[in-house]
Amino acid sequence: MSVTAYLGLGSNLGDRFNNLRMGHELLRLPPGTSTQDPPPRGILTHLRSSPVYETAPWGITEQPDFLNCVLEVQTSLSPQDLLRWVKWIEATMGREEGPRFGPRNIDIDILLYANLTIEEPDLQVPHPRMQQRAFVLVPLADLAPRLLHPTLGRAIEDLVANVPEPEGVRRWGAPLAA
């Protein structure tokens, strides 16, 4: 069974745009083509990308601005396999553990997975703070404005209207190529 999922990508270290582009390219590889053990079983197909936005950092503010975008994907990967796949991509790109909300060359979050609600120690879907983050909601609204948040029951476009400082999310570039 294949479902639609939404992934948030962000970068604020190094060549931020190239980091997003590389994360996008790695997501397009067939899962299991890596040396990841065990490789996830299933497929992940990129459907669309939001435009790229530039935003001030959230949480720890003394760091460079982020570039962010949201990808819409179709996948037969389970939520846990999708999580393992994005964590492998982050590690492959050299992401190192650091302070929560700190700087990073790549961050890939599972924002939504179909209309499921998942509460596990290492995976919470929908992303637990997405309704507070304009840098997630604005690009998500570009892709799916009428999509309902699974636990809040509100459309993404309505959440954008009520999120603090949506004007701080500045369009920076075109969507990543499909």
Please write the tens of the pLDDT for every residue from 157-173. 999 999 988 888 999 99
- Cα–chain-centroid distance for residue 47? 14
Average pLDDT for residues 150-160, to the nearest whole number? 96
pLDDT of residue 26: 87
**Which is catalytic among the residues 104, 122, 129, 170?**
104
Q: Is 170 in the active site?
A: no
Q: Is 107 in the active site?
A: yes
Q: Is the pLDDT of residue 43 over 60?
A: yes
Model's pTM, two decimal places?
A: 0.91
Per-residue pLDDT reduced to its tens digit, 65-93: 999 999 999 998 999 999 999 998 999 89
**Which is catalytic among the residues 16, 109, 133, 142?**
109
User: Which span out of 18-27, 45-54, 144-153, 157-166 was modeled with the highest average pLDDT?
Assistant: 144-153
Q: Is 95 in the active site?
A: yes
Instruction: Tell me whether the omega of the peptide bond preceding residue 38 falls within 30 degrees of 0, making it cis.
Output: yes
Domains plus CATH for the chain?
A: 3-173 (3.30.70.560)
Q: Is 104 in the active site?
A: yes
16 band by pLDDT with thresholds 50, 70 and 90: very high
3-state DSSP assignment of residue 173: strand
Nearest to 27 by CA among 12, 11, 13, 47: 47
What is the rounded (10 degree) CA torsion for 153, 7, 159, 51?
-140
Nearest to 49 by CA among 164, 157, 142: 142
